[in-house]
Amino acid sequence: MAADPFDVAVVGGGPAGLSAALSLARARRRVIVFDAGDPRNGVAAHMHGVLGHDGLPPTRLLERGRVEVEQYGGVVVEGRVESARARGGGIEVDGPSGAVTARRLIVATGLRDRLPDIAGLREQWGRGVVVCPYCDGWERRHHTIGVIAAGPQGVDQAHQLRQWSERIVYFPNDVGEPGADAVRTLEARGIRIERGPVRAVRSSDGRVEAVELDDRSVAVETIFTATTLHPRDRLLRDLGARTLDDAAGSWVVVDPDGRTSVEHVWAVGNVIDRRSNVSVSLGAGSLIAGAVNADLTAADIALG
């Protein structure tokens, strides 16, 4: 590993972090990326809707990204960063082989999805159980799709998926009976409602087969549901980054350039933005790299 200090330490080597690292390495900044190796979509066999890479395994995109960063002199380290602190006008991070200092820190650690607590759901996560129609809808367009509600927005999700398949079954589960208007619009679009608590998801030969209710089984081929999103933002919170808490949860706040409230610390991708799919993460990483490079240039000018 090159000697300290680096210009930029990037924690998280998913699409957001690697995209930022690539631009910064090409700007001849000394960059180090730490990555724990469990990207959000790592469970999925294929990635969709990413122009030029549609259908590529997500892990392949990241392998290519790491090679590209290294081609320009960037350093990529496998392992988790457990903590970070302000140090000497920059930031010190505790990597797997000890402390490393950098003038700027970019946190791109993503988020975790928590699934509804239903037996058999987790086993199919990223295969027969998915959340994003733009990522997985096309491949399921001929499937009977079960939508298991995880909140009142389940009705909207069922309507949305009707765009992809004519065979949608809506399971209100324990969210409760949809209102009269919702029942009318669902039924008008041919969306079947199967009421009652969902007890389990049954699979066979690796494929989803049915949703089990108390008194019956309902055959489906794919399940869409909603997850609770947990940003992996402990590093940022420990550094004192400002958060915004509202009905949608608690998220670290950044300005349009990705700058957090903590001096020298930026954040990008799913860790601060729930809507950041792969394409958005790649774009945001590139954008933030320009802002970090400009900040470093301003500091270089000030040094004379």
Ligand X SMILES: Cc1cc2nc3c(=O)[nH]c(=O)nc-3n(C[C@H](O)[C@H](O)[C@H](O)COP(=O)(O)OP(=O)(O)OC[C@H]3O[C@@H](n4cnc5c(N)ncnc54)[C@H](O)[C@@H]3O)c2cc1C
Residues that bind ligand X (CB under 6 A): 11-17, 34-41, 43-44, 47-50, 80-81, 108-110, 113, 126, 130, 132, 135, 232, 269-270, 276-279, 281
Q: What secondary structure letter does DSSP report for 203?
A: E
- Of 186 and 225, which has the nearer Cβ to ligand X? 225
CB of 80 to ligand X, least distance (A): 4
Q: Tell me the CA end-to-end span of the chain in Å, nearest whole number.
A: 28
Which of 221, 268, 264, 260 is CA-nearest to residue 241? 260
For residue 188, count other CB atoms closer than 10 A to its CB: 8
- Of 163 and 297, which has the nearer Cβ to ligand X? 163
Residue 53 sits at the vertex; the CA angle it makes with 52 and 59, to the nearest 5 degrees, is 155
Separation of alpha carbons 206 and 141, rounded Å: 19
Separation of alpha carbons 155 and 177, rounded Å: 10
Pairing of strands 217-219, 207-213: antiparallel
Separation of alpha carbons 33 and 23, rounded Å: 13
- Of 11 and 186, which has the nearer Cβ to ligand X? 11
Separation of alpha carbons 187 and 295, rounded Å: 55
CB of 42 to ligand X, least distance (A): 7
CB of 196 to ligand X, least distance (A): 27
User: Half-sphere exposure (CA, 13 Å, Cβ side) for 83?
Assistant: 6
CB of 58 to ligand X, least distance (A): 7
- Of 106 and 182, which has the nearer Cβ to ligand X? 106
- Of 41 and 222, which has the nearer Cβ to ligand X? 41
- Of 38 and 187, which has the nearer Cβ to ligand X? 38
CB of 136 to ligand X, least distance (A): 7
Q: Which two tokens stand for residue 133?
A: 């129609």
CB of 34 to ligand X, least distance (A): 5
For 235, the enclosing helix (H) or strand (E) is helix 234-239
Residue reference for tokens 């140090």: 87
- Of 18 and 182, which has the nearer Cβ to ligand X? 18
Residue 59 backbone class (left: φ over 0; alpha: ψ -120 to 50; beta: rest): alpha
CB of 190 to ligand X, least distance (A): 27
CB of 103 to ligand X, least distance (A): 19
Q: Which residue's beta carbon is nearest to the bound ligand X? A: 14
- Of 105 and 168, which has the nearer Cβ to ligand X? 105
For 236, the enclosing helix (H) or strand (E) is helix 234-239
